[in-house]
């Protein structure tokens, strides 16, 4: 029996200029994420955007969840108003929060990645910098459209936490970075697992579950193959998550 990992969808909205399905909304899975989640005995499932009466039945069939990256969160999702052009994706926020709420309340394993990490922080009552360049200019630029997933920076694992133990044999303490938003106020019941070299929160875990069962990272482990020898081993993270899949 394969274990089913539900993956939150990215959304693409109607666009009359798009030649295929231009008038329709699309849900999609980025291919690197599909390859990262797939293992022998693991079935990745893209969670469909359907009515709640059907959604909960689908979620109940999942053994764990991965919240994938993509568009910004809408500032309204964490109680703020937009400070500029970063309006975010409120419909996706609302849909993914239903998935996350189900997972947490039913004690299902969750791995949040980039946007998923930020969404988890908002779910637990935290806030974000809408744009670090604007609101926290002392930190480095963590996103470059041209270099994309070849951009990296050092990371420091918080002493005494799950990640310090998980990566105790790792020598190259670097991660990739593809984000311009970041955690401002940490959510409730979250423990910081890692910080970037310039002080941004890079990973956390939910303290009301065993370490690694409900956790998130700001980097993209699914993109690690691009500069594999220069950053930490992404399989270590995923295998630790899979230990909680019953």
Residue-wise pLDDT for 149-202, tens only, equals 877 889 999 999 999 999 998 877 999 988 899 999 999 999 999 999 888 999
CB 156 within 8 A of CB 173: yes
Least Cα distance to 119 among 140, 89, 85, 139 occurs for 89
| pLDDT mean over 66-86 | 96
| pLDDT mean over 226-231 | 88
pTM of the model: 0.94
CB 222 within 8 A of CB 32: yes
CA separation, residue 175 to residues 1, 2, 54, 61, 219 (Å): 34, 30, 38, 33, 6
Residue 179 has what pLDDT?
86
Confidence check: pLDDT of 129 > 70: yes
Confidence check: pLDDT of 147 > 80: no
| pLDDT mean over 193-222 | 96
CA separation, residue 138 to residues 34, 141, 142, 180, 246 (Å): 35, 9, 12, 13, 43
Residue 198 has what pLDDT?
86
Which range (34-43, 112-121, 219-228, 236-245) has the least confidence?
A: 219-228
Report phi then psi at 117, rounded to 5. Answer: -60, -45
Give the highest mean pLDDT range of 132-136, 195-199, 238-242. 238-242
Which range (34-38, 134-138, 184-188, 215-219) has the least confidence?
A: 134-138
| pLDDT mean over 115-122 | 98
Confidence check: pLDDT of 141 > 70: no
CB 144 within 8 A of CB 98: no
Dihedral of alpha carbons 181, 183, 188, 190, sign: positive
Confidence check: pLDDT of 142 > 70: no
Euclidean distance between CA atoms 19 and 12, whole angstroms: 13
Residue 118 has what pLDDT?
98
Residue 135 has what pLDDT?
85
| pLDDT mean over 23-37 | 96
Which sequence positions are flagged as catalytic?
Answer: 114, 220, 222
Which range (73-77, 90-94, 124-128, 152-156) has the least confidence?
A: 152-156
CATH of the domain spanning 3-242? 3.40.50.880
| pLDDT mean over 21-46 | 96
Q: Average per-residue pLDDT in the chain?
A: 94
Confidence check: pLDDT of 145 > 80: no
Report phi then psi at 84, rounded to 5. Answer: -170, -140
Residue 151 has what pLDDT?
74
Residue 7 binned pLDDT confidence (cut-offs 50, 70, 90): very high
């Amino acid at each position: 029996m394969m274990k089913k990992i539900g993956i939150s969808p990215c959304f693409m909205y109607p666009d009359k200029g798009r030649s295929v399905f231009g008038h329709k909304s699309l849900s999609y899975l980025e291919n690197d994420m599909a390859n990262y989640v797939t293992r022998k005995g693991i079935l990745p499932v893209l969670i469909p955007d359907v009515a709640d009466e059907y959604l909960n039945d689908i979620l109940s069939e999942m053994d764990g969840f991965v919240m994938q990256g993509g568009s910004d969160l809408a500032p309204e999702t964490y109680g703020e108003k937009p400070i500029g052009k970063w309006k975010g994706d409120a419909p996706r926020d609302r849909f993914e929060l239903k998935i996350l709420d189900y997972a947490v309340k039913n004690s299902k394993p969750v791995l949040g990645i980039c946007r998923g990490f930020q969404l988890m922080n908002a779910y637990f009552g935290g806030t974000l910098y809408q744009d670090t360049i604007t609101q926290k200019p002392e930190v480095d630029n963590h996103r470059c459209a041209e270099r994309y997933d070849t951009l990296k920076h050092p990371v420091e694992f918080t002493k005494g936490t799950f990640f310090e133990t998980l990566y105790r044999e790792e020598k190259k303490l670097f991660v990739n970075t593809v984000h311009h938003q970041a955690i401002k106020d940490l959510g409730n019941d979250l423990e910081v697992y890692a910080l970037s070299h310039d002080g941004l929160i890079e990973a956390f875990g939910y303290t009301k579950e065993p370490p690694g069962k409900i956790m998130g990272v700001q980097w993209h482990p699914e993109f690690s193959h691009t500069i594999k020898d220069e950053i930490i081993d992404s399989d270590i993270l995923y295998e630790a998550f899979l230990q909680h899949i019953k």
